Amino acid sequence: NAGVTQTPKFRVLKTGQSMTLLCAQDMNHEYMYWYRQDPGMGLRLIHYSVGEGTTAKGEVPDGYNVSRLKKQNFLLGLESAAPSQTSVYFCASRLGGFIQAGYTFGSGTRLTVV
Amino acid sequence: GQQLNQSPQSMFIQEGEDVSMNCTSSSIFNTWLWYKQDPGEGPVLLIALYKAGELTSNGRLTAQFGITRKDSFLNISASIPSDVGIYFCAGHSGGSNYKLTFGKGTLLTVNP
């Protein structure tokens, strides 16, 4: 049982390049979330999804797009990367229903934009 | 948006010492959660609190949900080197999207 898997683990992009980060979960979770973690800033929500085919903006959505075509996958896209998007990106998922289930996090993608 | 004020930002302690950290908010939360993040990994849930005044333990960890529902604290007793990491508080204020608001984290260093 893999839980939440993020690919790639590391990536270096040049300014203006595009890329997609993949999050896959095998727990049949309804809800999925993308966070970014920056030093001294904690975890900030980028986008989230409450089910297959649905997405919504979080706290810091600008410069990112997402898609949830399949329940188990949540993709985060950067159309034109900027140095301000250098960060560690975490995907998380949870069951629907009670908040008690908490989030299960992936191990992160470390992205550097030069 | 909602904000959680987590303190202290960092702590340097000796092995065996007890540790205390807390989170406060200007808003009411229905659920408080505490996570730990090991270097190079994602956060892992330590303790979840669902009722005001609730006190819950998980081994050497104890957390409490403040009576006002605007704060929570986490205590670690008899710290060991593997307690090193970043500790995050998180709160849920309601709503069906189950979004969590995270504190900025407390970086704990334990000297053997």
Partner residue facing B88 (CB), from A42, A45, A106: A42
Asked if the Cβ–Cβ distance from B40 to A107 is below 8 Å, we say yes
Torsion over CA: A109, B97, A50, B64 (sign) = positive
**Does B99 lie at the interface with A, CB-CB under 8 angstroms?**
yes
Q: Of B22, B41, B28, give the one whose Cα is nearest residue B105.
A: B22
- Report the residue from B1, B43, B97 with minimal CB separation from A48: B97
Residues in chain B with CB shorter than 8 Å from the CB of A106 are: 42
Q: Please, are residues A68 and A53 in contact by the beta-carbon 8 Å criterion?
A: yes
* Any A CB within 8 A of B95 CB: no
Asked whether the beta carbons of B71 and B86 are under 8 A apart, the reply is: no
As a whole number, mean pLDDT of residues A59-74 equals: 96
pLDDT band at A42 (very low <50, low <70, confident <90, very high): confident
Chain A closest-CA separation from residue B37 CA (Å): 10
Q: What is the dihedral of CA A53, A56, A61, A62, to 10 degrees?
A: 70
Task: Give the model confidence (pLDDT) of B47-81 as tens digits.
Answer: 999 999 999 999 999 999 999 999 999 999 999 99
Q: Give the count of beta carbons closer than 10 Å to the beta carbon of residue A96.
A: 12
Q: Does pLDDT of B98 surpass 80?
A: no
* Closest CA relative to residue A34, chosen from A60, A12, A3, A72: A60
Instruction: Tell me: pLDDT of A95 over 90.
Output: no
